[in-house]
Each structure stands twice: as structure tokens, then as C-alpha cells.
Structure 1
């Protein structure tokens, strides 16, 4: 028999620890490879930790609600083997990396644009990835395998059955460009937590906050205490955008398979304005200002349980409208279904929140630290407005909305904060009604 050390996996560049929220297996239980052993929670989303091997759980090193660091051993699984050598996840990973590095030197001569198993948006366990590497299965080929595991995850049996029916035609190995440290674990958001209510004298009720609400409460309080919040407001005429969307939304959905909401159109304008005013795409670290190279837009989204989460659209300025719509819909849908990954909520440089979806005309949002600005999109309303023409002014019905910009007055003065939101408005009002998607 051999003892396998199940360790807390790396879940994102800035995630160093997680809390154990539930053990799915007890000591003595049999575990299959890729089967979930326990549930953990980071500061934003929750995840399951699967086993990389088949065996029996013989020891749990942490209890529920314990805080665990990435890389720490959390359980011991006894596996069937002919030796007593302890096997740990990092040792296996290092061996894989060593073999991959050898492959890179050979593959560079034949592959002009290498990709990596570790850059996939889908989750593959180390066991599945190792089998794929040994069998010469490319990333694209691996991603095409239909998974029978939870959330469509490819299991050991899935890949072995695929190999069995695959035939003898060889497939070239594609050299990875990054090491195991770049692995992104698929996780899901925290499920709706039911909290019991206690009646006080048959009248008022005391209800304990769930874990995520406690975190949100702490973040909001800390942000107000950290940043000197100030706001600028501007009214925008979005009549052309409303008419254009009404005209193309059906053909857009038919061609692209995606619904076209107003959000990606607004996000596109914000990304352009951030390129024009990079002083808004910064963060503060002590007495230093960090100018961000990438424009990563946070998109505040309400969860079914009433809590809030902010998934991030990475490199938003590099997306066209179709790409932006796909990113917005994907993150929004996965947030509602509880299937966000830890990396989905990391790395934001500026945040947008749509208060208009709840009927609010405008709002004064709290900055998402460590960013220095957040834009609230108000509800679009039909209002009477003065329309200027060469023949004179007249009153007409226009579609208008308010943009509310909160920014950190420690590093953003009124000129920059006001100019930025004005530039967003200019992009929206200059929207080309004859444009394609």
C-alpha cells in the first residue's frame, strides 16, 4: 500500500488560502480518481477538491472551518501499490514539468504557436492531463472529449475509453508554454446558504449573515475607510444605441448564438475611455501608484441569494462587440449558476455596475478595492429633451440615462474623474447606427 498526500491546489495567482466548508468523504470511505473529497471556500467563490488517485481516505488533517494554505496537505489517501513510498502531488507535478520541458525543446522546431494543457478554460485533473500527455493527445483533442463527471468533467474512464476507440493514428504533442503553476482549477460559486432565523419575543428576528455577506460587509466598510470617495454624474442620450439594438438584436442572436444586451455596448465604451485616460486604470499600494498594463473590466453581478460578485472581463479593450457580448453573457450566466472560477474574479482594474437593472436612475457605488474608480449605469428612460437643429430647437422624446462615477480622490482629482466619465458619454452618444457587430 502507498500513501498519497492530497494537497490544497493552486486556484489563482492571488489566492493563497481557503477555508474548508465541508468534508464530502469520511475516514474509511473509498474514493475514485477525480471524485470530490471536500469543499473549500476562497474569499469570493467556493470549490470542490477532487482526488488525483483512487484509494481509501485514511486521515483528515484539517477540520471544517479550518483555514488552509495553498500547497498544504489536507488529507491522506491510501492507494494500492507494491511499495511504501509516500507520493505527494508536488512531486508528481514536478516530474510532469520536467518531462514537459524536455518536450518543449523538441516541439519548438515543429510547432510555431505552442499552446498548453494548462491554459485551457476547462478543468482536467492531473491524472487526466498526464494520460493525455503520455498518449500524445493535443489540447484541442482533449477538450473535444465528452466528460461524464460533474459539470461535464473528463474522468479517467472517459479518456481511457476515448483512447480505446481512437484508433492507432498518432497525434503530435503540442508543447506547453507554461508550467504547472498556471493551472486554473474550475470552481463554482457558493451555493445559496440557508440561515435559520431566531424569533425574539415573537416579533423581530435575528438572522445571522452567511459567509459571503460577511465578506461583502467587510469589503464595503474597508473601501469607504480606505478611499476618499467623490462622485461625478453625467446624463447621456443613448437614443441611437437603443434604436440600433432594437434593429439588430434578433439577427445578432441568430448569427452569434448570443443575446445582445446593452451591457457589452457600455463596456466597449468604458474600455475605450480607459485607454484614453490611463490614470483611471491604476491602483494604490501604500504611497505608490501602480499603473496597470491591462484593462480588465469588473462586472458587478447579483447572485440568486442576493449577494454580489464581480467577475472580470480580461483585456476588455482587445475585444470587439461580439467578443464583449460573449464574455458578458458567459460570466453573467456562470455567476447565476454558481460555476465561476477563482480566476474569474481576480485581476480587475476598473468596475462597472448596472444599477439601472433594478430601476435606479443613478447611484453612488462603492469602489472595488484596490481599484480607484467604479461606474454605475442608470436606467434608460424616455424623457422630453431639447433637440438642437440648424432650423432651431424643438422638444422631442429621447432615450436618456445617467452615468454615476465614483472615484478615489486620494489619487484622482475632479478633472480626471469628470473627464473620464464625459469621454464614456461621448463614445455612447457618437455611436455609429450603421455599424456592424
Structure 2
């Protein structure tokens, strides 16, 4: 009997763990090589994980909703033809850079997984804190300051749940003994939770799915972390609308890509960030991390009603054609649940086109750890007073509202307002002589 250890594969550059959604096979079932064995989730992206070999599953070590680190053994498979299995596993290991261990004749080789003692911790103040870590911190009464002080053993210093549990195990004093900034404990609210009236036979309960729980945690965390301020401007995009209407068919024919307004919005935001780089930052306690890369996240609604934010990387370095290709590819992948983990990570600024749903304007919640988010309202035609060479006249113009929510810890009214006005200027002054 040839036993193969089936491990959690590496799902992306900065992915150190994944959540099991469901097993498609049970103990005793036969699985073909390359057949999907289970579905896992990293952040908000679901992925199929195939079996590296053909064989019978003899043990499953982790079940639904378990959060498992990359490289951890998930199951044991009694493989058919160990030589062929070994070849496939080694080939997969060479592609992913992960070492696969094969156990022959029931003998399990010792794991080479590093211990906490021989891991060199490197802290990254800008490392993403996952909703799972936030949930653990809330249950254990860990403040965000104490949580950020824990060295992360994941890729690029990312904090993992094992780091938090190790810290809790070795903590020499309870959290309540740690003085707060004002040397006082915050008062515990005595306000009772409002009662929810439930009418049996009429009302029904819908349990949040995994993604909705993550969104809920992320939104609450953002509101608790950043003091939100929202500024608004109105822009005249008549020239932009006319140019797009005149060129969309030509663009589609020449580049085989749809020409929507989104790449133009991304381009305008990227240009404005170059002008105001302090809007492209993250906050780490008393430090401001200024990001060199300009990666624009696009808040995108999924068919399920949930929200995801695919990212246009290095948007300031791309022309309109390249941006259109990126936007269309990411939007299509979002609709078909085909986004890769790395495609929803690394954003430094986010836009949300609330006009898609007919909204005039919005007050978006900041996508942590960013410090600002831009909402774009619906483009509507209406009569406006404009100044011409003949004086003031009333004309039909295409108008839209832009609203910028920003973190008032580091973005004041001058910076927020100036940046927002600059985005509006780029849209109003769009070069309609642009040739395609």
C-alpha cells in the first residue's frame, strides 16, 4: 500500500492559509488524479483543489470551515501506482516550489515544517490583518495595538492565527492590566441590545454565508478604526460622454475590448494620486506608510449580492487600452467566480461605482488598510447654467457626483478636497482628441 500525503497547496504569493469550504469526496471514496477533491477559500476567492494522484481516501484530517496553513496535511490517499504518483507529485512540487512528502508502506516521514523557534520573525506594519485574526482578537479581548505588536510568521510578516495563539499562551499578564492611552479602561456600554421581533410563519432566517460574514467584519472594523469624513463635488462629464459614445464601437473593433467609463475613472484617480501621493497611504499606529505602487481596487457586486474588490495593479503606468483590458478581465472573472487570490490583494485606493445601481451619490466605507475610497454616482443629463463666449446660457449637460470618504486621522479637509477636485478636473478636462 502506497500512502500519499495530500497537503494544502500554495494558492498565491502572499497566501499562508485557506479555509475549507467543502470536501467533494469522503473517506473510502476513489478519486482520479487531477479530479477536484475539495474547495477552499482564501480571503473572498474560492478555488478548486485537485488530487495529485489516483487512489482511495483513507483519512481526512480537517473538515468544513477549518482554517488550514499552507503545507499542512489535509488527507491521506492510498495511491495506485506509486511511481506514477511520485512523478506527478514531484512535477507539481517543482511548479509550486512546495516540497511534497510521500509515505511508503505505511511509514510516515517526519515533517520538515519549521517551528516557532527557528522562524525568523519580520514585522510588517502594513501587513493585512485578516477577518479571522480580528475575530480571534475580539474573542480574546485583544486590542488592535496589542494585536499589531505580535510578530507575524507568515509571508511578508503576515499575522497568522498560530502566532496569536502562541502569544496568548505565553502572555504574562491579562489585557486589562495594560494601560490605555488615557490610562483608563473604556467604559462598558450598558445599553441593551434591541429586541428583534420575529413573527413565526411570516418571517424567516437567512444565515450569512462565509463571504458575507467577512464583509460584515471588515466593514465594522473599518468604521471602528477610521474616523470617516465624506466630501462631495459635482462634475460635468459631457465631453467625456460624447467622446466615449463616438469611439466605443471603434474601440471594440480595434482592440476587441468594451470601452466602459471605468478605465477612464481609474486613469483619472491614478493621475490624481500622482499629484497627491499622501492619499495613497496606510496607517500603522503613529506611522504613515506611503505606497509607491498605485493599485486601484474596483468594488464589484457579485451575482450572489456579495461584494469583492479586484485590483488594477500599477494603474498609473498603463494607458487607456491597457486599463480597459485589465478592467474587463477582472470584471469577467468576478462575475464567473474565477478571480485568483492575488487579483484581490494589494490595493492602495478603491473606487466604487454606485451609479451602476442608479444611485446619485454614496458615502462609501474605507477599504482597510487604505485611507480613502471614491464613490462615483450616476451620470444624468439635466439643464445647467454654463458660461460661453456669448455669456451665461442654459444647456443640457451630463453631470455626476463624486464623493470621497477619507480617514481623518491622516487625511485632512485640504488634502481630501484637493484630491477630489483634481479627480474631477481630470474627468472634465478629458482629452477628447485621444486617438484610438
Aligned 8 A contact 2:361 2:378 in 1: yes
Is residue 5–residue 88 contact of structure 1 (8 Å, CA) maintained in 2? no
Distance 1:72 1:82, change over 3 A: closer
> How do 1:198-277 and structure 2 match up within 5 A?
200-277=199-276
Cα deviation for residue 81 of structure 1 reads 4.6
With over 3 angstroms needed to count, the CA separation of the structure-2 counterparts of 1:288 and 1:87, relative to structure 1, is: farther
Partner of residue 341, structure 2: 342
- Render the CA deviation track for 1:325-384: whole Å, top value 9, x for unaligned: 111111111111111111111111000000001111111000000000100001101121
- 2:33 matched to 1:33? yes
User: CA, structure 1 residues 394+64, in 2 after alignment: closer, same or farther (shift >3 Å)?
Assistant: same
**Counterpart Cα distance in 2 of 1:207 and 1:78:** 40
State which drifts further: 12-21 or 312-321: 12-21
Q: 1:327 to 1:29 in 2, by over 3 A?
A: same
Q: List per-residue Cα deviations over 1:14-57 (Å, max 9, x = no partner).
A: 33222212111122222222211111122311111112222222
Equivalent position of 1:352 in the other structure: 351
1:280 Cα deviation (Å)?
0.8
Indicate the RMSD between aligned Cα atoms, in angstroms: 2.4
Find the counterpart in structure 2 of residue 14 from structure 1.
Answer: 14
User: Where does the alignment leave 5 or more consecutive residues of structure 2 unmatched?
Assistant: 101-154, 156-197
**Are the equivalent residues in 2 in contact too, given 1:45–1:340 (CA < 8 A)?**
yes
Higher mean alpha-carbon deviation, 372-381 vs 15-24, is at 15-24
Contact 2:52 2:88 in 1 (8 A): no
- Tell me which residue corresponds to 2:128: none
Deviations for 1:227-282, whole angstroms, at most 9, x for unmatched residues?
01001111111000000011011111111111111111111111111111110111
Instruction: Work out whether 1:63 is the aligned partner of 2:98.
Output: no
Distance 2:292 2:435 in 1: 29
Query: Helix, strand or coil for the counterpart of 1:232?
Result: strand
- Determine the C-alpha separation between the residues in 2 that align with 1:204 and 1:282: 45
Map 1:93-132 onto structure 2 (within 5 A): 96=94
Task: Say which is worse superposed, 352-361 or 61-70, in terms of deviation.
Answer: 61-70
User: What is the aligned partner in structure 1 of residue 54 from structure 2?
Assistant: 54
Alignment of 1:396-411 (within 5 A): 396-411=395-410
> What residue number does 2:43 align with?
43
| CA–CA distance in structure 2, aligned partners of residues 88 and 241 of structure 1 | 54
Distance in 2 of aligned mates of 1:66 and 1:431? 50
Contact kept, 8 Å, 1:8 with 1:70, in 2: the verdict is yes
Q: Deviations over 1:40-85 (max 9, x none)?
A: 12231111111222222221111222221111110112224569x9
Residues 297, 348 of structure 1: 8 Å contact kept: yes
**Secondary structure, in 3 states, of the residue corresponding to 1:33?**
coil
- The answer to whether the 8 A contact 2:273-2:280 is kept is yes
Distance 1:296 1:82 in 2: 45
Q: Secondary structure at the match of 2:205?
A: strand
Q: Does the 8 Å CA contact 2:43/2:341 hold for their aligned counterparts?
A: no
- Give distance in 1, aligned partners of 2:346 and 2:395: 43
Aligned to 1:103: none
Query: Does the C-alpha gap of structure 1 residues 267 and 118 become closer, same or farther in structure 2, counting only changes over 3 Å?
Result: farther
Q: Distance in 1 between matches of 2:249 and 2:44?
A: 35
1:331 aligns to 2:330 (yes or no): yes
TM-score by length of 1: 0.73
Moved over 4 A (4+): 85-89, 91-94
Q: Give the 3-state SS of the residue equivalent to 1:206 in structure 2.
A: coil
2:205 and 2:82 map into 1 onto residues whose CA distance is: 57
Partners of 1:71 and 1:118 lie apart in 2 by: 11
Is contact 1:38–1:50 with CA below 8 Å preserved after alignment? yes
Deviation (angstroms), 1:88: 11
- Name the residue aligned to 1:430: 429
More off after superposition, 25-34 vs 329-338: 25-34
Aligned residues, how many? 338
Distance 1:305 1:65 in 2: 20
Task: State whether residues 2 and 87 of structure 1, in contact with CA within 8 Å, keep that contact through their aligned partners in structure 2.
Answer: no
CA offsets, 1:138-177, max 9 Å, x none?
xxxxxxxxxxxxxxxxxxxxxxxxxxxxxxxxxxxxxxxx
